[in-house]
Chains A and B, each alone.
Chain A
Amino acid sequence: MSLLTGPMRKHLDGHKELTSHTELVKVEAGSLVYIPLINGNSTAVEVLVKEGDRVKVGTMIAKRNDHFTVPYFSSVSGTVKGIQKMMHAGLRPVDHLVIENDGKNETEQPFGTLNYQTATQEELVSFMMNAGIVGCGGAGFPSYVKYRGCKGIDLLIINAVECEPYITADYKNTSLNMQDLVTGVAAMLKMSGAKEAAIAIKTTKKDFIPTVVEAFKDYSNINVKEVPDVYPMGWERTLVYEITKKRYEKLPGEVGVIVNNATTAIAFGQALSKGMPITHKYVTVSGDGINTPANVLVPVGVKAADVIAACGGYSGEDVLLIAGGPMMGKTITTDQFVITPYSNALTVLKNKPVNQVACLRCGRCSDHCPAGLQPVRINQAEKSKNVAMLEKLSIMDCIECGMCSFVCPSKIDVTEGVRRAKRYMALRAKK
Chain B
Amino acid sequence: MKFNFKPSPNYRDGQSTGRIMGELTLGLLAVFAFSLYYYFTNFSASYGLRAILLMITAIVSACGTEILWCVFTKKDILNSLKNSYPWVTAIILTMMCPLSIEYYALAVATVIAIFFGKLVFGGFGQNIFNPAAVGRATIFASFAGAAAADIVTGATPTSSMAAQNWIINSAEGMSSFLKPFGGLGNMFVGLYPGAIGETSALVILVVGVILAIRKVIDWRVPATYLITLFVLAAGVGLMHGAPISYALFHLLTGGAMFGAVFMMTDPVTNPTSAAGRIMFAVGCAVITIVLRLRSNLPEGVMYSILIMNMLTPLIESLTDGQQIKMKSKNIRNLAILFVAGLAITLLVGSTIKPVAAGSAEAGATNGTETTYNVTQHGFQGDNQFEVVIDTAKGEVVSVKMTEFNDTPGIGDGVNDDYLSQFVGAKSEDDVNAVDNVSGASYTSKSAKDAIIQALNAGN
Contacts and interface: CB of A to CB of B under 8 A. Distances in A.
A328 B322 contact: no
B331 A405 contact: no
Interface in A18-40: none
B278 A333 contact: no
Nearest to A321: B3
Given A331-B4, A359-B125, A372 B218 contact: no
A320 B10 contact: yes
Nearest to A166: B11
Interface string A340-383: 00000000010100100111111110110101111011000000
B323 A357 contact: no
A319 B8 contact: no
Given A317-B1, A320-B6, A331-B5, A394 B322 contact: yes
Interface residues on B, range: 35 or more
B41 interface: no
A4 B323 contact: yes
A357 B18 contact: yes
Interface in A294-339: 314, 317-322, 325-335
Contacts of A394: 321-322, 325
Contacts of A407: 13, 15
A167 to B, nearest CB: 12
A205 B327 CA distance: 34
Contacts of A411: 12, 16-17
Contact of B8 (A317, A357, A415): A415
Task: Among B20, B278, B324, find the residue whose CB has the most chain A CB atoms closer than 10 A.
Answer: B324
Contact of A366 (B220, B272, B330): B272
Query: What secondary structure prevails in chain A residues at the interface with B?
Result: loop
B123 to A, nearest CB: 7
Contacts of B5: 331-333
A331 B3 contact: yes
Task: Among B8, B123, B124, B215, find the residue whose CB has the most chain A CB atoms closer than 10 A.
Answer: B8
A406 interface: yes
B11 A326 contact: yes
Contact of B4 (A318, A371, A373): A318
Given A361-B270, A409-B15, A328 B8 contact: yes
A12 B11 CA distance: 10
Interface string B56-90: 00000000000000000000000000010000000
B126 A333 contact: no
B323 A374 contact: yes
B277 interface: yes
Interface residues on A, range: 35 or more
B11 A363 contact: no
A3 B220 contact: yes
B272 A374 contact: yes
A91 B2 CA distance: 17
B124 to A, nearest CB: 5
Contacts of B8: 322, 326-331, 400, 402, 405, 415
B10 A366 contact: no
A165 interface: yes
A385 interface: no
Nearest to A326: B11
A373 B4 CA distance: 29
A236 interface: no
A330 B10 CA distance: 9
Given A363-B267, A402-B9, A389 B320 contact: yes
Contacts of B126: 358
B9 A318 contact: no
Interface string B1-43: 1111111111111011111100000000000000000000000
A374 B125 contact: no
A377 B272 contact: yes
A165 B11 contact: yes
A247 B330 CA distance: 18
Interface string A39-55: 00000000000000000
A4 B275 contact: yes
A4 B268 contact: no
B369 interface: no
A92 B275 CA distance: 41
B125 A361 contact: yes
B316 interface: yes
A327 B126 CA distance: 29
B3 A319 contact: yes
Query: What secondary structure prevails in chain B residues at the interface with A?
Result: loop
Contacts of A10: 13
B335 interface: no
A351 B320 contact: no
A409 B16 contact: yes
B323 A326 contact: no
A5 interface: yes
B273 interface: yes
Contacts of B410: none
A163 B65 CA distance: 47
Interface in B275-334: 275, 277-278, 316-317, 320-325, 327, 330-331
B274 interface: yes
Contacts of A6: 274, 323
Nearest to A318: B2
Contact of B323 (A333, A366, A416): A366
A415 B321 CA distance: 17
A6 B319 CA distance: 14
A409 B19 contact: yes
B19 to A, nearest CB: 7
Contacts of B273: 363, 366, 374, 377
A402 B6 CA distance: 13
A4 B319 CA distance: 10
Contacts of A410: 16-17
Contacts of A314: 1
Nearest to A365: B272
B3 to A, nearest CB: 4
A419 interface: yes
Contacts of A254: none
Given A327-B8, A363-B272, A402-B8, A4 B330 contact: yes
A122 interface: no
B3 A326 contact: no
A411 B17 CA distance: 8
A265 B196 CA distance: 66
A413 B316 CA distance: 22
B322 A317 contact: no
A354 B12 contact: yes
Nearest to A332: B3
B224 to A, nearest CB: 9
B16 A4 contact: no
Interface of A: 2-6, 10, 12, 165, 247, 314, 317-322, 325-335, 349, 351, 354, 357-364, 366-367, 369, 371-374, 376-377, 389, 392-394, 397, 400, 402-403, 405-411, 413, 415-416, 419
14 contacts: A3-B278, A4-B274, A317-B1, A322-B10, A331-B7, A357-B17, A357-B83, A360-B124, A366-B323, A367-B274, A369-B323, A374-B273, A377-B316, A411-B16
Given A363-B218, A374-B321, A415-B9, 18 more contacts: A4-B330, A6-B274, A6-B323, A322-B10, A326-B8, A326-B11, A330-B8, A331-B6, A332-B3, A351-B6, A361-B267, A372-B325, A377-B316, A393-B322, A397-B322, A400-B8, A406-B9, A411-B17
